[in-house]
Structure 1
Amino acid sequence: MKPIKTFSLVAVLIAAALASTAFINFKPLKKAAAANKGFAVIELFTSEGCSSCPPADALVARIEKESKDKPVYILSFHVDYWNRLGWKDQFSSADFSKRQSEYSRYLNLQGVYTPQIVVNGKTEFVGSEEGTLRNAIRTNLEKLSSAQVELNISAIDQKQASLNYTVEGADKNTVLQVAVLEKAATSKVTRGENDGRTLSHVQIVRELQQVALAANNGTANIELPHGFDSKNWEVIGFLQNRTTGAITGAARASFSANAIASAAVKEMK
């Protein structure tokens, strides 16, 4: 009986030691996982002049609604090359068409098309493929991100906002892409392929600005588009490799009450 008791005591002590070690190791691992959590930057290339695009616009709207509490960042880029079909997309820009063409080069594609979705700068597919999009989001949320970025808007005036950023894990080929987005809008289309339809959009990119990262933190002046309204707009910033197009980290920032109050004081002066 005595040897059994001794063995039991030793086993208890060993188990306690292992449990203690596991507890000590668990906390930092959990903290690291939280700090490097996965994310999904979803870039939709769309156009009001394209009859195939409304289903993709509706899909990202559903994803946006479902993902409010997740690191899922939707950016809708309206390209301008379908404007020639008779309807000029009011949100379109040649700069956004150029960005899509850059992805064609990054991903070795034969050309551009709409609707197209690119996830984290690495994967592309037809923008209305719901199952493919959901799988891509799930896969990227489960991965650990290699870099992190934090954003804060500190001040706003009539034409610009001051954006403070802190970056970790970015290499020398990485830049900070800053998108100013209108959260939602509708259009009544009177010509072209979507003639007679009222189209709804979410997360519409109105300005895209590239910030060179000379240091791990800094402040950038961000241009605010015509029609800016702090209540219906936000900023999404993401770290992108200039050589591969891969996106390694992302964050969003809202136009806070403090920043707006700062702008009001400036106007009074």
Structure 2
Amino acid sequence: MAPRLFACFGRGKYPSSAASASASAESNATVDAAAEEQRRGGPVVVELFSSQGCGTSPEAEAVATRLGRGEIVSGGDIPVIVLAFHVDYWDYRGWKDPYGSSAWTVRQKAYVESLRLDTLYTPQIVVQGRAQCLGNEEDAIAAAVRSAPRVPSPSMQATFSKPSPERLQVALAGTLRSKVDSVGVNVMVALYQSGLVTDINKGENKGRVVANDYVVRRLEKLTTVKDISAKKSVSGTVTFALWDGFNPAKCGIVVFVQNHSLHILGARQFAVPDNL
């Protein structure tokens, strides 16, 4: 279907020697993991552009869930971060996607331009901001992930707080671990939600119960940086407006670095503490 240019295809003060040995082992493991990531690169960011109003998107959502769980890319040696952006251009067909946003449509349009595509379509997968394929083609997605360039994750720490019941604040600080040139990059922070279930009673998917994971609910820019070394510290704070029924146990954030060509140059994922 193609309206206009759219298409839908421990205790105690002092540690015991055993505890010290365990802590040392954990520290060494962390160092080893960091060295291995430096050699191989960090996770690959996969963005799904989807809509509950598109008849073929539910299948792609299921693929995205399995991809995020490490079930699509064989071997499990390439970590994947999944972000699902629900667009709004299928709402006219009778079902308004409760997670759809015109901002996500704009984001997809930017990829259409940067990847030199002819049209918007759903479900679409974009890998590291550099390659794209149909969102329900597992083999094509796995191939794109395996061939995607990988860079180290930003070495950042996240501190969470709720200054009010309606707001979540995240303070981030650390290094990007990649040199930034004079053109600059944006450091973005996405807040996503998993475990969403919707009973659809109108539109293309009428009568279906649809499950959605990694759904981006908010996206904010932490900062823009230019001309910095890989070891230069970067910091900032973002504040997210929360929605009714916000459940931190089902949410996470992703910090990612993206240049003006929309290439993703590093990403790190954090769980949202469930004791907020």
Match of 2:96 in 1: 88
Instruction: Verify: 1:231 aligned to 2:240, yes or no.
Output: no
Give, in angstroms, the shift of residue 77 of structure 1.
0.4
2-structure distance, mates of 1:30, 1:229: 31
Matched, 1:35 2:38: yes
**Structure 1 residue 257: Cα displacement:** 5.7
Distance 1:80 1:133, change over 3 A: same
Which residue of 1 is the match for residue 22 of structure 2?
Answer: none
1:91-130 pair list within 5 angstroms: 91-130=99-138
Normalized per residue, the structure richer in helix is 1
Residue 53 in 1 paired to residue 20 in 2?
no
Q: Is the 8 A contact 2:253 2:270 kept in 1?
A: yes
Match for 1:88: what amino acid? K
Per-residue CA deviations over 1:13-32 (Å, capped at 9, x if unaligned) read: xxxxxxxxxxxxxxx99964
Q: Structure 1 residues 30 and 196 mapped into 2: Cα distance closer, same or farther (>3 Å)?
A: closer
Is the alpha carbon distance of 1:29 and 1:199 closer, same or farther for their aligned partners in structure 2, counting shifts above 3 Å?
A: closer
* 1:144 Cα deviation after fit: 4.3
- 1:207 corresponds to which of 213, 218, 222: 218
Instruction: Give 1:223 shift.
Output: 0.9
Amino acid at match of 1:99: R
Which residue identity does 1:105 align to in structure 2? E
Is residue 2:199 matched to residue 1:188?
Answer: yes
Match of 2:190 among 179, 185, 189: 179
Deviations 1:83-135 (A, max 9, x none): 00000000000000000000011111112100000000000111111001112
* 1:151–1:251 CA contact under 8 A, matched in 2: no
* Alpha-carbon distance change, 101 to 39 in structure 1, aligned in 2, over 3 angstroms: same
Q: Distance in 1 between matches of 2:49 and 2:33?
A: 36
Offset of 1:163 from its aligned partner?
A: 2.5
Normalising by the residue count of structure 2, what TM-score does the alignment of the two structures yield? Answer: 0.76
For residues 219-258 of structure 1, the aligned pairs below 5 Å read 219-227=236-244, 228-242=246-260, 244-256=261-273
Greater Cα shift, 161-170 or 187-196:
161-170
Q: Is the partner of 1:97 in helix, strand or coil?
A: helix
Q: What does residue 25 of structure 1 align with?
A: none
Q: 1:148 aligns with which of 118, 141, 154?
A: 154
Note closer, same or farther for the CA distance 1:162–1:31 as it changes in structure 2 (3 Å cut): closer
1:132: which partner in 2?
140
Residue 233 of structure 2 is aligned with which of 209, 216, 236?
216
**Percentage of identical aligned residues:** 28
Counterparts in 2 of 1:153-168, with a 5 A limit? 153-157=159-163, 158=165, 159-166=167-174, 167-168=176-177
CA distance, structure 1, for counterparts of residue 179 and residue 172 of structure 2: 16
Q: Give the secondary structure class of the aligned counterpart of 1:212.
A: strand
**Can you list the C-alpha shifts for 1:42-71, whole angstroms capped at 9, x where unaligned?**
100000000011110111111122269963
Does the CA-based 8 Å contact 2:128-2:264 persist in structure 1? yes
- Going from structure 1 to structure 2, the CA distance change for 1:224 and 1:153 (only over 3 Å counts) comes to farther
RMSD: 2.4
How many angstroms apart in 1 are the aligned matches of 2:153 and 2:243?
33
Contact 1:168 1:216 in 2 (8 A): no
**Matched letter for residue 66 of structure 1:** G
Gaps in structure 1 of 5+ consecutive residues:
1-27, 261-269
Instruction: Tell me the amino acid that sits aligned with residue 153 of structure 1.
Output: T
